[in-house]
Amino acid sequence: MATKDKAKAETDGKATGGDTLSITDNRTGESYEIEINDGTIRTMDLRQIKVAEHDFGMMGYDPAFLNTASCRSAITYIDGEAGILQHRGIPIEQLCEHSTYLEVAYLLVFDELPTQAQLDRWTYDVIHHTFVHEDIKKMNEGYRHDAHPMGMLLASVGALSTFYPTAKDTEDHEERYMAAIRLIAKVPTLAAFAYRHSMGYPYVYPDNELSYSENFLSMLFKMENTYEPDPRLAKALDVLFILHADHEQNCSTNAVRAVGSSDVDPYSAVAAGVAALYGPLHGGANEAVLRMLRQIESVENIPDFLEGVKNREQKLMGFGHRVYKNYDPRARIIKKHVDEVLEVTGENPLLEIATELEKRALDDDFFTSRKLYPNVDFYSGLIYEALRIPTNMFTVIFAIPRTSGWVAQWLELKDDPEQKIARPRQIYTGKRDQDYVPIAERDGPEKITGPPARRPKLLRRGA
Ligand code: CMC
């Protein structure tokens, strides 16, 4: 297990070259020297800046964490300007070419590539924990036929905590190992069960003879005993799994860390990650890309669509990234695999629309000046569709490999001596010192009748 040496962490936290930042508070004329480490100041160091002794002290204001590092991490390195992504120092291109998803999961969790014996043991442990308790099936049966599989996955990952209550002992390394194994092993089964429920098909149990990605395809598509996963498609899916395994402090990983910081069990923390990934600005974007391509309908409609984007009527889904201000390296790899997959499964007319849409957007100053390039989701939906995976399963497929990243990040959090329960501050902007008014004395209409439009409006922003 990736254990971080406390002493080393403390040394890492010290100033590297005596660099400092001088701040003069023009309210008081006082000057302060603040240490700079790794190009970063500690926001807590601002607290000493006060106008008066009893002041709380200065805080940093950073909605959505645009410029705040919340942790030190040794898992994933991204250089957004240069379009570089590395896991434990190894470029994503090399991992996609030479590795497998399960080996990458080991790398993320243990901080190094496994020997053959270590990989065999890891694979054995994962493959032999793919079954889920029969009660999970009963739980699934309670959903409506059209329940979104991501909502079902979210609930069933959270429910795992009730099946493995000893995982609450988060300081026990054996419990941590078993939670890592169980999460990586069971999420594909939970995902496939959610799909089979939505189709009204009987559930297919895991097959220990198959590889990780073959087994997932089998649990999705097997009818009677006839399904044999095409190895080329299983390989393409495995590459997609590698590409989605981790992506440093994105919205869902931040959710896992924030919730995990309360020392809740890892299943509950990972369920928070699933919830965050569900959103259309995060994992739900690949689903939105396909809807968008279908809505565009044909290449001729692209100019009108792009005009609409520029007029802020809609977003160009699958474009833009908080960190990448260059071509997302994952999108480049996926684009290469789209053709290989379509060779097996047949042409998809949406590919022509996607290719032309990308070309025109990259020729357009609106997108280039904002450094908006295709991200991982722009082409991944086309591969999923070619694999006959329904659109509402796309985010679920993202969640399967991201589970290993969430687990690795959760383990790193647990071993980080600097981490505490996550608890941001706020700048309070509301009323103060109001008196409670008895209900009979309050202003407002005497009677509310009519349509729901008369209900109080909640959408204040942009109203
Ligand atoms: N289409 C049109 N305009 C865009 C887009 C887009 N996809 N993305 C950003 N912009 C504009 C945005 O309106 C803003 O313009 P202006 O400065 O004139 O107001 C500018 O570009 C900067 O954007 P931002 O909203 O400040 O960027 P952000 O870092 O907050 O958001 C993002 C990043 C991914 C949420 C956003 O680019 C977006 O919504 N993209 C579409 C959804 C998408 O594809 N998400 C998948 C992300 S990759 C998968 C993952 O890792 O989760």
Residues 48 and 144 in one domain: no
* Cα of 276 from ligand 1 centre, angstroms: 17
Distance 311 CA to ligand 1 centre (A): 15
Ligand 1 atom with least separation from CA of 375: 48
Output the domain CATH number for residue 273. 1.10.580.10
Q: How far is CA 413 from CA 77, 203, 205, 409, in A?
A: 17, 36, 34, 6
Kindly state whether residues 115 and 52 are assigned to the same domain: no
pLDDT tens figures, 1-17:
433 343 344 444 444 55
Predicted model pTM: 0.89
Is the shortest distance between the CB of 317 and ligand 1 below 6 Å? yes
- Mean pLDDT, rounded, for 294-321: 96
Give domain status of residue 1, yes or no: no
- Kindly state whether residues 110 and 57 are assigned to the same domain: no
CA of 322 to the centre of ligand 1 (A): 7
Q: How far apart are CA 215 and CA 229, in angstroms?
A: 8
Same domain for 225 and 320, yes or no, is: yes
Residue 452 lies in a domain: no
Residue 287 is predicted with a pLDDT of 84
Q: DSSP assignment, residue 40?
A: B
Question: Would residue 4 count as lying in a domain?
Answer: no
- Work out the average pLDDT over 28-38: 97
244 belongs to a structural domain: yes
Of 282, 364, 415, 416, the active-site residue reads 282
What pLDDT, on a 0 to 100 scale, did the predictor assign at position 9?
40
Which residue of the set 148, 244, 321, 337 is catalytic?
A: 321
Q: What pLDDT sits at residue 459? A: 64
Q: Residue 382 burial (CB < 10 Å; 0-12/13-18/19+)?
A: buried
The number of distinct structural domains making up the chain is 2
Nearest residue to 211 via CA among 197, 198, 189, 229: 229
Q: Report whether residue 320 contacts ligand 1, using a CB cutoff of 6 Å.
A: yes
**Residues 40 and 137 grouped into a single domain:** no
Looking at the structure, tell me whether residues 138 and 265 fall in a common domain: yes
Q: Domain check: are 132 and 251 in the same one? A: yes
Any domain includes 457: no
On average, the pLDDT of the chain sits at 92
* pLDDT per position as a tens digit, 86-102: 999 999 999 999 999 99
* 285 pocket-lining for ligand 1 (C-beta < 6 Å): yes
Active site residue 377: yes
Q: Specify the residue with its C-alpha closest to ligand 1, atom 50.
A: 282
Phi-psi region of 328 (alpha: psi -120 to 50; beta: other; left: phi over 0): beta
Crossing angle of the two packed helices 116-127 and 212-221, in degrees rounded to 10: 20
User: Does residue 287 sit within a domain?
Assistant: yes
Q: Is residue 234 part of a domain?
A: yes
The span from the CA of 369 to the CA of 371, in Å, is 5
Q: Is the pLDDT of residue 361 over 60?
A: yes
Mean pLDDT calculated for residue range 113-125: 98
Summarised one tens digit per residue, pLDDT across range 407-462 is: 999 999 999 999 999 999 999 999 999 999 999 999 988 887 777 656 667 766 54
Residues 36 and 164 in one domain: no
Q: Are residues 241 and 116 both part of a single domain? A: yes
Give the domain extent around 27.
17-61
User: Is the domain of 32 the same as that of 160?
Assistant: no
Residue 209 covered by a domain: yes
Mean pLDDT of 165-169: 98
Look up 321 and say whether it is catalytic.
Answer: yes
pLDDT at 280: 86
Does 87 qualify as catalytic in the annotation? no
